[in-house]
Structure 1
Amino acid sequence: MFKYVFVTAAMLFLASCGGGSEDQIPETPKPILVTAGVAQTIDEQQTLDIVGVASGGTGEYVYAWLSSGDVNISHADTTAADASLVAPVVTAPTDFIIRLVATDSAGKQGENQFVLTVNPVNLPPEANIQVMQLEGYGNNRFPVMGTVVLDGSNSRDLDAPENMAEIATYEWQQTAGTLVTEGLDLTQSSLSFVAPITDNEESISFSLTVTDQEGESAESIVSVVLVGQSNTLPTIELNSDIAVFSGERIALQALVLSDAPRAKPFSIAWQSSMTTEGRLADIDQVNQIHTFASAPLVNETQHIIFTATARDSFGNEVTANKTITVWSQLNATINDTGVSAYGTDEKVFSSYQADFAGQDADYGNDRISTSGFIDKTGRGDQGFDFTRLNENGDQVDNTALPWRCVRDNITGLVWETKVSQDISNLHHADHVFTWYQSENNGNFEGDVNEMSTTCANPNGQCNTEAFVDAVNEQGLCGFFDWRLPTHQELQSIIHYGKSIFPLIDSEYFPFSGDSGSQALWYWTNVSSADGVNDDTAMNAWAFDFKSGVDNFLSKSVHARVRLVRAGKVEPEE
């Protein structure tokens, strides 16, 4: 810190008076003489005490220090000429005019100035390189095709001029190793490049030179290691986590990749954790990239962790996990589809197709039945569970004994079966009916179909309602509440897994029709909004047991009927 004191020279004032005359010569106003100081030279950001002097005025003075530039002057007491200033930051020697203005009590002013020269004093900047690290590799280590980012933006200049960037220029230079900077802009704050494909490890080095606004420079050096193909880790991704029931299939699919061209072939090993009940998921082929497992039998919800460990040709290993939730036994209230085959974009197979995982055959009662985990009340193909009932409605366990109805143990519905002999029997397989319903008919009851020979109804009306009334009057399996099925109910017994028609479990529903090239339409009780004319539904929904599709038919069309009754009753608490 520099302190300077300025002292004013003494001033002599002469007064004259007349010799004996009464007239006085007017007094000449006294000028205010101010001394601010002499020229000074100091370094930037240094403090200088300044002391001025004023004389010749009237009464007390008020002082004001002023500057021509951004000089910070501290002058708290304006009745005194003492003050201090702080030299601003400059990038080159700079002159500033420092003025002192003194004002007396009469309002007269005087002023004086001096030149303040401020010299720059520059601290060198700090060059700082940060290397963006990659997960799975050590510090400053990078695989082939990995992005290397060298960040110099945290370089600093502690005495940078205000309102200016701390660093004026950046200059990168590769100093050792395989050239990776060709074609790159080496004048930015960061340097980024892709690690080249090399066979073995190699160290490459870089320098960063930063220059501040005042021309001072600093340098930093960093080295990174290119690990080469032999140490580049493969990556592994597993398909999404899911939840399944005991006995359903779990698709296990891994995607293994590497940027190292010689990393293939990959090998893999799958493992599963054990449930709290001591069971493991049965993995089909533990060394296949795409495989499957069967969910184990559990009594309560369990979480199983599947671990896939992949290895490349260099012996580098990576591991990934997926968690599967396994629910206890499926308590289904709707039937499965019966599909157990697997499709691709070309054909149908009986075995699991790893490239087309997650198909119908992997889930539901059909899959659980194949796994042996389903507990059926009766019997049936795939996941279907049927029980035969005799003419009195009693269960028939002996398959050799005749039966008249079938109970679906999944839905609780009881279904009519058909007969093939005696064409006069109400339930003959070849009888067909028009659709007719006096209520819930879409504003059109349908076709009465009187005096028809397409069925064996005693009143000669071969329509759906007349058939229902005739069966309930006669009774079937001891029941008198038969009706036409809903759309959902009728679809529930279609066996979509069969390759030959009719698409129904023929062991329980024989004589369901042999249409040749014709469709096997069965009526539902639902009118169709398609074909509505003036708010009148002329059509009703039906299912084709040859193709499995549904469609709306004119209510005057002759189609088959399979009656149903009741439904599943939930047990009392």
Structure 2
Amino acid sequence: MKAFALIPLISCGLLSACGGSGDSSDSSDSTAVETSVNAGIDLQIIEKTEFTITAQGSPANGTFTWQQVSGPSLEGFPLDGAEQTSTAPDIKADSNIILRVSYQSSGSNVVTDDISISVSSNNQLPLAVITQTLPETLPSVYKDTVTLSGVESNDPDENGQIDSYFWQLLSGPDLDITSFNESTLSFSHPLLESNVNLSWQLTVTDDEGGEASTQYSMTLNKTNELVDANAGEDQDIEEFEQVTLDATSSETVTDTYQCRWQQLTGNAETLSNSNQCTTTFTASDVDTDTILSFEVTVTDSKGRTDTDSLFIDVSPKALGLINDSGVGECYNNTQRINCASDDFPAQDAELGRDSFANRLDKVGKGNLAFDYTKLNEFADEVSDDSNSFSCVRDNVTGLVWEVKSVNSGTLPNTSVRDGQNHYFWDLGDTEFTDTSTANTTCPNGTSCGIQTYVNEVNALDFCGGTNWRVPTYTELLSLIDYGKQAQSVLIDADFFPNLPDESALNHLRYWTSQTAADGTSLSQAYIIDMSDGNDLAYPKNNTAYVRLVRSR
């Protein structure tokens, strides 16, 4: 391709008269000189080869400048001079380069011409290489991790690299392999009845799409024991949790096998199906950390067997040494519902000790999770069905509670521990007027304050103890069974009989040992009403009932 430019040239002649005067005249002429440049013919070359380009310009003695317009980068450009020698770049795919030459002769405008250079990629195919890197000690045996590596595969191109790997098992048993598209491939040496030959093929692809493959053969050795029982991992659980025993990871060389579970140690548990490879049970109630052990026997279709065992550490659930509410049913806005309903979740009956009541290994008896034991006057245990008992031990909190004596007359002509007796509060401070005098609401001839009553009971060495006291708020509240709502009393009358007639004081309020500090005075203490479960800050100079408690 040529480019041209026109340059005007002016030629002048002068004529003169001879011999005297004469006229003179001027004449002028103009011609155009072309400026052109030719970058040469287009080229077809191979990557990384040397090539020469030569430009021609007219008129002669002008200057040439080469620059790259497009395509993969060439080193050294721009360059000055008609002839240039360069080296084609290393490319990944066929490419095209455009070079432009600019030419300017003296007094002319710049003219240009382009040359196209087609560069062909000359990719060298990669080399696929397989090596076995694991196990370190050969030959491999059952359960060894076998690893084949293709990382030594390479691309001979100077700037080439392996872009992908693809493994194929041409012959051999089925293997558990996570991925066939990584530089390495791993699997576990399987259980085998005889030696087995494996044939692998690895295909690698470089960054220019070139592919190469290689094959690799190996032998996996047979296993001495043809049944491998697997009882699973040891487990740490809490009481009442459902436990799954799973032996499905066992292996045999036959297609099928059977399992049989048996318990070796610990509390006897009931398995859902001991003849299945997967079975369940619900952990029973425990008081301390307990170890259970189970064994599975796996038998293949040819009668060959193997056994394996596991340990299960059962710990007590953190239910706390406090009674639950006694509520064992769930409700929506209007009626009782199944506690499994997602519309009204996390109800009281689903949470805490009561929710496990049917699984608790109770010492005595009681509604839901309440657990009481009857004691005689010497604090010895008596039958849960006995009608003759003097106090009750709460097996959850460990507290021993006073049981009131039967009604013995009309106040104040009653016995010392008659449930009808009621007292004013006089534990340590006396910021009130004593309005409950002796022989009025109790049979004592000195005072009807609760401290007097505490002293009387301790003097009796009642139920084998002299440390009887008025319960705290939390201790007294632990007797309330809110599952008895709509009943006349919210306490278990089977264990706490001889309650006073509610009509006597129009309430069943019992004192606690705690003053209600309302910020202005100390004239009130907390009571809990056994008829409805409510608490109240109650004036200390009023009277209320009392039920004493002691630690064991």
TM-score grouping bracket, smaller chain normalisation? 0.3 to 0.5
* TM-score, normalised with respect to structure 1: 0.46
